[in-house]
Each structure stands twice: as structure tokens, then as C-alpha cells.
Structure 1
Amino acid sequence: MANRLLSVGSVFPEFKKTAVVSLEKGNEFYDITSEDHKNADKWMVMFWWPKDFTFVCPTEIAEFGKHVDDFSDRDTILIGASTDSEFVHLAWRKNHDDLRDLRFPMLADTSKSLAEELGILEANEKIAYRVTYIVDPQGIIRWVSVNDLSVGRNVNEVIRVLDALQTDELCPCNWQKGEATLA
């Protein structure tokens, strides 16, 4: 990675970006900021994918889409992101059956400024790696997972880690929500 990966304990960078939030004419786009989840006193999960109109990416996006209520139940704002434009995101959502009814925003980092600040740009093409961030309500990064461009992530593991972090206790290996913690 060109820049140093922003990791656990770091403050998530401030941002204001346009995102696709709907297919409804006139309501497709909305500006999202780094303050939205903090003002709502919520956690944030932001996951990045390399490119729209590709093969692995829609499988991940659709799987996150199936779990929107799981994140909502955990007082967590879910945001998907890539360096593609909001217009490309919109066209992809209209074109792909699994993405049409998404209930979370697809953030457009067309300037690549946020991805660059996070240190997640692949060196040659300057596209984002498959990175997932869990950020607490104070804006502190509590978990980061980075996958190679060719490997999709595990959404259930993101939820498991979110559950563990939200206990604010010591959680053993393979801990699942409802199991005893170590503290």
C-alpha cells in the first residue's frame, strides 16, 4: 500500500462524500459525513471494494445488504465505498439484480482522498483494497480487516467482531454473541 494503513486506535479521517442511497428519481444521492455516525451516537462499519461492475464485489455488497438489519440492531451505520463515482454506483445498482434494493449508501470517493488518507489504495491502479473498518461512536477505529483484491470477505465475521467490541469485555477466540466473556 502506498500510504501507511490507518489502523486500530487511530481516529477515522473526516470526510464528506456523495453516496447513492436510492434508485428513486430525484432522491438517488445524499452527502454523507464522518460526523453522521458520531452525531447519532452509533458505530460505523465502512467496507471498501475495488471496482464497480466486477465479479467478487457484488457478492460482498449483496451479502452486506442481507445483513442491514443486523447492523441496525447493533446501533451501527453501514456504508459501502469505492473510488468509483456516484453515477457509476447508480448505474451498477440499476443494472445488477442483487444490488437494486440495497438499504445502505454506496459512497463515492472519486477524488480518492479518503482512500488515500486511510492508506488503502493499491499501488498500481490506485483502487481500494477490500478493507473493512469498524469505528466506534467516538470516531476511533476499533477493527480493520484487509483482503487481497481476489478474495471476498466474511460478513458474519464482521458482525461477530462488532458484537465482541460492543461488549467492552474480553472475548475469547471464536466467541459468539450470547456466550460468556472473560471479564
Structure 2
Amino acid sequence: MLTVGDKFPAFNLTAVKGGPEGLEGPGKSFVDISNESDAGKWKIVFFWPKDFTFICPTEIAAFGKLNQEFEDRDAVVYGASTDSEFVHLNWRVHNNDIRDLPFPMLADVKRELSAALGILDKQAGVALRATFIVDPEGTIQWASVNGLNVGRNPQEVIRVLDALQTDELCPCNWNKGGDTLKPAELFQAA
């Protein structure tokens, strides 16, 4: 699996647009998104195993509710699975929790991005619940993977993004606005 310090792989995938534009129907709801889209921004890229399942919409909706907080941090959110853009669109139309999703849903139908990241489940052949924070230069700064049966905490992704954006040493359980560690001060106290 790719991890911190690795370059996020090049990709070009079809996605269902975020927001109301994503509900306009085939031909109008789709957009191509690549690793070059949203240049200069932090990227939160998270994967779920399958559309029309049980845990996935809870996570996707939670990321959607926090979308403005990510935008406030100059970050974009991309959700992805190995389902097609048509399945994504149908799921959005028929699931109240994700109907108003503000970010795009990427379709990794050939599993190229999932395979390049090393996040395909060996038995099921679908993406694990992987989350990546990618800096504006395209380097992975944080990676987290959950098994198929355990949902993740999008609020933790914001906490880690905040810490990464300080470019300072952040102690355990650090939250935005908290004190960072100053090594020179720690050595003086000793």
C-alpha cells in the first residue's frame, strides 16, 4: 500500500458531480476528474467498498456534512469506489442520506487507482475503506485503512489535516488552536 511520502498515483476517472449538478442525469451529471484537477489544493480522497450497502452511506454522508470545513481548509474531497458512475448516480438519486452530496463520487471501475494505491481487498476485490490526505504537491501526507466492516471517523481526518497544515509538531490528541510542541523550549526546561 502507498503511504506517507509516496506520490499519489496519476489517475483520470469519470465521476458523478457533487451538488445539484450531480442529479441532472446521464450526460449532464458526469465529469472527468484527474490527479491534476483542483491543482494547488489539499485533497482528501476516500474509498468505500460498494454502493448500495450499509456502512458506506453513513461515512459518505458524514464527509458530506463536513465538506464546508474541508473547503475552509483549502481542501477538496473526492469519494471513490469501484462501482460505475451510473451506479453512483442511481445510488445518489435513491438514497436520501447522500442525495445532496457536495463532492464528486469517482468511479474506479477498472480498479486502476485502487490497485495502484494497494487498497483492494484480496478476497472481495473491492476497495477497502481507505482515506488519504494529499498535499498540494501530490504527496500523500496521511493514510488510513479500515476493513470492510468498520466505518471511519471523518472528524479525525479534519483533525489530522489541521495538524498537517500547521507544519509544526502536534502532540497526541492535538486539536486546532491547541499548543504545538517547541523542541527548543522542551530542552531548556530539562
* Rg larger in structure: 2
TM-score (structure 2 length as normaliser): 0.92
Q: Distance in 2 between matches of 1:102 and 1:27?
A: 16
Alignment of 1:1-183 (within 5 A): 5-21=1-17, 22-25=22-25, 26-37=27-38, 39=39, 41-183=40-182
* CA distances 1:7-64 after superposition (whole Å, capped 9, x unpaired): 0000000000000011023420000010113x2x110000000000000000000000
Q: Which AA in structure 2 matches 1:32? A: I
Q: Distance in 1 between matches of 2:116 and 2:181?
A: 35
TM-score (structure 1 length as normaliser): 0.95
Runs of 4 or more off by more than 2 Å in structure 1? none
Q: Which AA in structure 2 matches 1:89? A: H
Stretches of structure 1 lacking an aligned partner (at least 5 in a row)? none
Q: Which AA in structure 2 matches 1:28? A: S
Stretches of structure 2 lacking an aligned partner (at least 5 in a row)? 183-190
Shift of 1:146: 0.5
The two structures, once aligned, show a CA RMSD in angstroms of: 0.7
Q: Which AA in structure 1 matches 2:111? A: K
Q: Distance in 2 between matches of 1:60 and 1:27?
A: 26
Q: Which AA in structure 2 matches 1:23? A: L
Q: Which AA in structure 2 matches 1:19? A: A
Q: Which AA in structure 2 matches 1:172? A: P
Q: Distance in 2 between matches of 1:60 and 1:125?
A: 20
Give aligned-pair identity as a percent: 61
Shift of 1:125: 1.8
Q: Distance in 1 between matches of 2:151 and 2:28?
A: 30
* CA distances 1:75-131 after superposition (whole Å, capped 9, x unpaired): 001000000000000000001001110010000000000000000000122100000
Aligned positions, number: 177
